[in-house]
Structure formats: C-alpha cells, structure tokens
Structure 1
Amino acid sequence: MSNLALPLARRRPKSVLPGFGLTLGLTLTWLSLIVLLPMVGLFAKTSELTFSRFLAIVTAERTVHALQVSFGLSLAAAAVNAVLGLIVVWVLVRYEFPFRRVVDAIVDIPFALPTAVAGIALTAIYAENGWVGSLLAPLGIQVAFTPLGIMVALVFIGLPFVVRTVQPVLADLNQELEEASASLGASRWQTLWRVVLPSIGPSLVTGFALAFARGVGEYGSVIFIAGNLPGVSEIAPLLIVIRLEEFRYADATAIAVVMLLASFALLAIINGLQRWSERRGRAG
C-alpha cells in the first residue's frame, strides 16, 4: 500500500454495519413501495381528466373554500401550537413542580387517542349544551359546528408535535449561556430573543411544520366538530371522501393532487426557513 493510501485508509475505517449499497437499496425500495407508488397512482388517475375538466374541479367554489378551510386553519393552528407549545415546553423543562411527569404524559394523549374518539369528546365538550360550550353560548361564541371548532380540533392534535420536537433541544441547552447573557446586562426578554430562541428556532420550525402537515390531512377528529357545511366548515379531506362515495374517483384525486402540491410548496418554504434559522444560529 502506498504512503498516500495509508492516510486514506485510516480516515475511512471499515464499518461493522451493513454497507452503503445495501442500505441505500433497501431505503429506495421501501420509499418506492410506501411513498412513491401511491403518489404515482394518484397522478396517473388524475391524468384521466382533461386539463379543462381538472381546472373546473379544483377551481369550483366548493373545492376552493374547502381547501382554504383546511390550509388556512391548519396554518393558524400550527402557529398557535408554536407559541403555546413553547410555553408548555419551557414549564416542563425549566421548572420542578408536583405531578410534572403527569403533565408531561398528558401532552401525549392526542398521540394515543383515536381521532374519532377525540372528535366526539371535543364535540361533547364544546357543543352548546357541553361543559365549555354552555359557558361560551351566553357570550355569543359558538365553537362546535363552526370553523372555530375545526381550529380547536387541530390545536388539540398538533400540540404534541411541537412539544416533543422542542423539548429535547431546550433540555440540552446550556443555561450558562443565559447566565452569561444576564451578566453582560441583557434583560430577560433580550436573553430569550437573542440566546434561547436562536438555539431552539430550528426545532420549533420543525414542530410547526409537523403540526401543519398533520392538520392538513386530519379527518377523524375534525368531521364531528366541524358540522361539515359546504362553503362554511367543510374540509378538503371530507370533500375527497364525498367524491369517492359518489364514485367520482378522478375528481377526488384531482383535489388530492392540489393538496399534495400545495403541501409540498408550503413545507419547502418552511424547510427553507428552518435552514436559514440554523445558519443564523451557527453564525451567531
């Protein structure tokens, strides 16, 4: 072996785990079967429509409103979860209090609870005769069977994504950085804005993206509390199910393709913001 090859061999020690070729092949095969093939089938079914017919379906008033409800409320719910989830994480990580582990476990309930059960429970609570709905009704606030009810359901199912994504990052954050910031004369808000948030920013954006993605495709927990009124509280996944029940499969896949492309575009933007936040954090 030449002198040039020896340092190269030292830099690349042989791994005891399966090689790159095997793992890459398994990865591509699995992703093709689970992810790529269904998407190819989706686009293939939609291709049965002419472009004018496709355009007519996706620009129909009912379809546009359902897409606006799904994407708009999902973004709003993810934003709410980003703020409230950060507060929950801060309390769980930075403070010791009785039953803290119980509170920590409660965060995971939306993960374990079947979505239909969650929808029924939320509807029972926020209906006009429910525990919370009866208190809001005299104030003229109706939650169940309105877009506000959809918002409540999406916040419920999206909160764990933010909390569980940010929690380990905040737990690993060195508190000495905060103490150093305070010793240099920074206020609490300055320390939070310039030290803490840049460190947990990428994970917070990731949690936001996960909550948004879950909200866009959510069905079970939403249909019970939404009321499902066309033009008012009808979500896009429900409209797809309705088209399937009408045996209008190409129409359903056309709406699904629009949701898929819009989700990809928004997630690409969110991932770009995450990378920008990571670069900014490293530069700082």
Structure 2
Amino acid sequence: MSSLTINKKSRRIIPGFHLSLGYTMLYVSLLVVLPLSMIFLQTMSLSWQEFWHIITDRRVVASYKISFGTALAAGLINALFGTIIAWVLVRYQFPFKRLIDGLVDLPFALPTAVAGIALTSLYAPKGWIGQFFDFKIAFTPLGIIIALTFIGLPFVVRTVQPVLQNIQVEVEEASASLGATRWQTIWKVIFPELIPAILTGFSLAFARALGEYGSVVFIAGNMPMKTEITPLLIMTKLEQYDYAGATAIAVVMLVTSFVLLFTINIIQWLANRRFVH
C-alpha cells in the first residue's frame, strides 16, 4: 500500500482532531478527574483499619441500603412510567399537550429544597394527600422514593422521546399489515428500538437519585438506621469537621456508583449491538 493511500485514509473530513482531543482531556481532567482524585488522597490519611471501621459502621451501612435501594426503585419506576409518558407525548394529540410537555422539565429548574418542602407538605401525616392514608408516606423510605422519582422523571422522558420521534408510524403500519397484533408490534418492533434509550434514561435517573440531597432531607425525616441517606451522613460528618470520615464514605459511594453505572453501560452497549446487528 502506497504512502499516498495511507495519507488519504488517515485524513479526516473535519480537521483539528488532535487539538480538540487535547482540550477534551484537559477539560475532563481539571473538572472531573482532579476533584475525584482528591477524595482518594484525603482518605489516604486513614489507616486501613480506620477506613474499614468507618465504612462498615452499622449506621453507615444502613444509609447505603437506603440510598441505593430507594435510588434503584425510583429509577425502575421512572423507566416504566417515563417511557409511557414519552409515548403519549409523541404519539397522541390532546389539549394542553405543550403545557404537560413543559411540566416534565420542571424538576430540572425547580430548586431541590423547594421540591422537598412541597412534597413534604403533600405527603406528611397531616398533608393534603398524606391525611387520607392510614400508613405514613413522608418520613419513610416510600417518601424518599417519591422524591427521587420526582427529580428523575425528566431524564427518562427526554432520553426516550427523541427515539420515539425517529420511529416512523409507517413501521408500525407495516408490522400490522404483515399480521402482527398491537402487542406484537410493540414488543417486537418498537420496544427493541427503545431498550438502549430506556437503559440510558434509567442510568441517568439512578445516578441523579444517588446524589440527591435537597429534596430528600425534608421528606425523609433523617432518622438513623431508618430514613437517613448517605449524602446526609456525609454532610453531618463535614459539619463535625470529620473530613477523613466524610471522604471515606464518599469513596465507597463513588466506587460503587462507578461499578453500577459501568455495568449498566455494558448492558446498554450489548443491547444496542444486538439490535443493530
């Protein structure tokens, strides 16, 4: 192969790859890698015994279970109902459609503390909705799930919506003309196209829920071993000037979140590869 052919293959249509890649690596390093590395460096001031004692404390372990459990539940709920909402907004015409479409983005713009106060006033035992239930909603894990579902909904809707818009109605009509029922069309034609987007929306909602603080502290009640989330425990240690303890717990959250999100991305990649080929 001649050098001229090699030069033609290595040439890109849009120039500036090496320069833009350098800026990208610098930007990501300064804003993501460097701050996260400081968490690990701060933790190195602890011995392994001290680190293990902090992260395995009963109160800390209980906060892990609450944070990851409620975030997972909220992510799954949003994956289901967010997909349904995206379907309705794309496939149907109805009054006030634009208003509802705009309301989906409201959790993005609303301060999390305001969301927490609003949800607490609704679901507290004497709240507008909570008073009609014999069981408690606010100050329980159920209340935390409601708050995390509220703030995570837009991630799923806005991820699935563009994919649905790209699926032409003619594809559904062709499936029906070939004898497929409505459920067969949804399950075998539409759903496979949506799986990568649903997984992406779920991972974004799940990651957002793990780090949520403002909307949860009001509705959770913050009872140790029952409704205390890990971000609140980190804030408590920071207020006590226990920086090493706070960063130790943060390291566990960081590593666990990274592993879970990496696993979800692998599943998404496999699903995308399967349905593309």
Aligned equivalent of 1:152: 146
- Does the C-alpha gap of structure 1 residues 14 and 197 become closer, same or farther in structure 2, counting only changes over 3 Å? closer
Deviation at 1:210, TM superposition (A): 0.1
TM-score (norm 2): 0.96
In 1, Cα distance between equivalents of 2:116 and 2:162: 29
What does the per-residue CA deviation read over 1:243-268, in whole Å, with 9 as the maximum and x for residues that have no partner?
A: 11111111100000000000011001
What residue in structure 2 maps to residue 231 of structure 1?
Answer: 225
Q: Which moved more, 1:171-180 or 1:5-14?
A: 5-14
**Cα distance in structure 1, aligned partners of 2:31 and 2:12:** 31
Q: Could you tell me which of 13, 17, 21 is aligned with 1:20?
A: 17
The answer (yes or no) to whether the contact 1:161–1:210 under 8 Å persists in 2 is: yes
1:197 to 175, 191, 200: 191
What one-letter code is carried by the residue in structure 2 that aligns with 1:143? I
In structure 2, relative to structure 1, the CA distance for the partners of 1:260 and 1:14 (3 Å cut) is: closer
Q: Matches of residues 106-255 of structure 1 in structure 2 within 5 Å?
A: 106-136=103-133, 140-255=134-249
Correspondence for 1:272: 266
RMSD between superposed Cα atoms in Å: 1.5
2:95 aligned with 1:101: no
Using the size of structure 1 for normalisation, the TM-score is 0.94
Contact preservation (8 Å) 1:198, 1:280: no
Percent sequence identity over aligned pairs: 55
CA displacement 1:195-233 (0-9 Å, x = unmatched): 111101101100000000000000001000000000000
1:58 equivalent in alignment to 2:55: yes
Measure, in 1, the Cα distance between the counterparts of 2:126 and 2:53: 41
| Number of equivalenced pairs | 277
Deviations 1:39-78 (A, max 9, x none): 1110011111111111111111100010110011101100
Contact 1:67–1:236 (Cα < 8 Å) also in 2: yes
> Which whole-Å CA distance do the structure 2 matches of 1:35 and 1:154 have between them?
24
Q: Secondary structure at the match of 1:98?
A: coil
- What per-residue deviation string (whole Å, max 9, x for no partner) do you get for residues 140-172 of structure 1? 221111111100000000000000011001101
Identify which of 39, 42, 60 aligns with 1:42.
39
1:84 aligns with 2:81: yes
1:49 match: secondary structure = coil
Unaligned runs of 5+ in 2: none
**Greater shift in the superposed pair: 172-181 or 96-105:** 172-181
Q: Which residue of 2 aligns with 1:29?
A: 26
* Cα distance in structure 1, aligned partners of 2:14 and 2:67: 47
More off after superposition, 195-204 vs 170-179: 170-179
Pairing partner for 1:67 from 64, 72, 79 = 64
Structure 1, unaligned stretches of length 5 or more?
A: none
> 224-233 or 268-277: which moved more?
268-277
CA-CA distance at 1:175 after TM superposition? 2.1
Deviation at 1:7, TM superposition (A): 5.0
